[in-house]
Structure 1
């Protein structure tokens, strides 16, 4: 009998970016295990083409941080679709994860407000360290330009009076 090798399905080129922050606009950043010095927010691809984006967000936040969006003190209403979309070229080193001919990913940006002091449990296969930074510092620390740009929009989406997107104010 021939050996059957199961092949993992290709990644779907549609993902979420979830900026986790406190009401004071401190932002959670995590350092990637496979790329030391690469600090980022929660990111992740849809598991299936028909998976709702909100489901992708809830799953990825739980997997990467241990935060349960449905927990008391947070709640699904704390997760907001910012209506921002980023289309970017997939890094060549990751192209093998996608079907042949796929070169770009569409990223949907969300924000999640959590109480200060919310415990975080990192997924050790994905992240080695975490830090909470004021939003301007968090944006400056991000490796990904789309992640940094999203964080600079945080005051606008968090409803901070007088905030001008991209101004750092």
Structure 2
């Protein structure tokens, strides 16, 4: 069991997704973390297992955190083929195996129809808002998330310069 005692919660894998949920008008859904502060972000989450495909992780995390089904009519999930590697914050390193300090994050976009309902997982997030892409970038607490918001016009095909 990865060096853990029987019955212990498994360590998180240092492989995660970042999913920029947006409308065709480039309004981005941001959700506020439940663990305090003003930490606004896009959908994020780790793979459940090493062989879980990135797309499956993205779809699962979007469903768990927002209630949005990526297969619903009008929704388009796209792999931006971008990856970020960053230091795991010290206060969250206990969730990972000893010695793990870096996380690999794969970036996706999810275009949804305007007015798509959002149903948060209250144990993870306490509020949500739709913001124009530049405003969303300014609101994100994570640098990689802010950068992804600024890249949205390029990856959505809208053609605006980030």
Measured after TM superposition, the shift of residue 84 of structure 1 is: 1.1
The answer for the alignment partner of 1:18 in structure 2 is: 19
Deviations 1:95-152 (A, max 9, x none): 1110111000000000000000000000000000000000000000000000000000
Measured after TM superposition, the shift of residue 35 of structure 1 is: 2.6
Give distance in 1, aligned partners of 2:34 and 2:6.
Answer: 27
The answer for the alignment partner of 2:161 in structure 1 is: 164
Unaligned runs of 5+ in 1: none
The answer for the alignment partner of 2:63 in structure 1 is: 62
Higher Cα Rg, which structure: 1
Deviations 1:27-79 (A, max 9, x none): 000000003200000000000000000000000000000001112222xxx10
Give distance in 1, aligned partners of 2:63 and 2:90.
Answer: 28
The answer for the alignment partner of 1:28 in structure 2 is: 29
Give distance in 2, aligned partners of 1:54 and 1:83.
Answer: 11
Q: TM-score, normalised by structure 1?
A: 0.91
Measured after TM superposition, the shift of residue 160 of structure 1 is: 1.4
Does residue 79 of the first structure (1) align with residue 116 of the second (2)?
A: no
Q: Secondary structure at the match of 2:154?
A: helix
Q: Count matched residues.
A: 158
Measured after TM superposition, the shift of residue 6 of structure 1 is: 1.2
Runs of 4+ in 1 over 3 A off after TM superposition: none
Aligned CA-pair RMSD? 1.1
Unaligned runs of 5+ in 2: none
> What pairs with 1:81-160 in structure 2 (closer than 5 Å)?
81-160=79-158
